[in-house]
Amino acid sequence: MNKKMIRLAGAIVFLILINIGLFSLAAIKLTAFWISWIFIHIAFLIFAGILIFSAPEQRKLKFAYSETAVAMYYFIIELVAGFVLLTQFAFLPVVSFVIQTVILAGFLVAFFALKKMNQDIDRREEVAKANLRQFRSLLEFMKDVQNQVDYNAPYKKTIQHAYDSISGSQVKSSPSAYEVEEHIWDLIGQLKKEVAADNEERIETLCRDIENQVEERNRRLRMER
């Protein structure tokens, strides 16, 4: 039996227990009773639905708990409020309806606000991952060129210096730096060809160009802080 089936079975049992408790509290089922009964079931179905069908896909946030926890808090608050209202305000259905509507509205605001924050975090993490992949590709490309250089080559330190300038650059990128990064990629491609041809003068020029473009990239990124 998978986790969803176990959670579903547990939810059904818990719902039965809730109804036993509700119906045992009120001998006469007035309007206020049915209002609380409906709101409690709405809260439970929201919480159970998120727990059963969405919880496995969620993760714990850095600053708060998951959407499941928010739904759980809403259900607990509504359950307590519903019990109090159907016992203490049995003859005031309007009061019961208004209070529980406010609780539901508060939950919806909190839930969708958290959902938006989750989506924003996911987008930022995807951008960070993409930047890291792009930066690593650039660094690995330069490393590949560096590995082709003979140990005794006179331009080995020059290429090492260009590599260090890239590796010391910040990983984070932005649209303003994309053009420069493409130029750096193109320069490394040219450098790879010149290393194969052992063209020392051209290698020196390309390494300076790479360092200048890396500095330009860093300058553009600093301006966006």
Residues 107 and 171 in one domain: no
Same domain, 92 and 159: no
- pLDDT category at 63 given cuts 50, 70, 90 is very low
Residue 79 lies in a domain: yes
Same domain, 121 and 171: no
Q: Examine the domain organization and report whether 105 and 7 are in the same domain.
A: yes
Does a structural domain hold residue 144? no
Q: Are residues 104 and 163 in the same domain?
A: no
Our count of domains for the chain comes to 2
Residues 84 and 10 in one domain: yes
158 plus 98 within the same structural domain: no
Q: Are residues 43 and 118 in the same domain?
A: yes
Task: Provide CB contacts within 8 A for 42, sequence distance 6+.
Answer: 78, 104
For 1-46, how does the pLDDT look when each residue is reduced to its tens digit (9 = 90+)?
Answer: 577 778 778 878 888 888 888 777 766 678 888 898 999 999 999 9
Indicate whether 191 belongs to any domain: yes
Q: What is the pLDDT of residue 64?
A: 41
- Evaluate whether residue 182 is within a structural domain: yes
Same domain for 16 and 77? yes
114 belongs to a structural domain:
yes
Tokens, residue 124: 């930022």
Query: pLDDT per residue over 64-80, tens digit each?
Result: 457 788 888 999 999 89
Residue tagged 């450098």 (tokens)? 191
Judge if 11 and 91 occupy the same domain.
yes
What angle is formed at CA 174 by the lines to CA 170 and CA 180, rounded to 5 degrees? 80
To the nearest 10 degrees (0 to 180), the angle between helices 93-148 and 156-167 is 180
> For 159-217, what is each residue's pLDDT tens digit?
999 989 988 888 777 777 778 888 898 999 999 999 988 898 999 999 999 999 999 98
Q: Does 118 lie in the same domain as 58?
A: yes
141 found inside a domain: no
Could you tell me if 119 and 165 lie in one domain?
no
Question: Tokens at residue 106, please?
Answer: 């508060």
Check whether 224 has a pLDDT greater than 50: yes
Residue 143 lies in a domain: no
What is the domain range of residue 35? 3-125
The answer as to whether 212 is a domain residue is: yes
pLDDT in tens, 137-149: 888 888 888 888 8
CB 206 within 8 A of CB 190: yes
Burial of 7 (0-12, 13-18, 19+ CB in 10 A): middle
- pTM above the 0.85 mark? no
d(CA 76, CA 56): 21
Among residues 159, 158, 181, which one has the least CA distance to residue 170?
A: 181
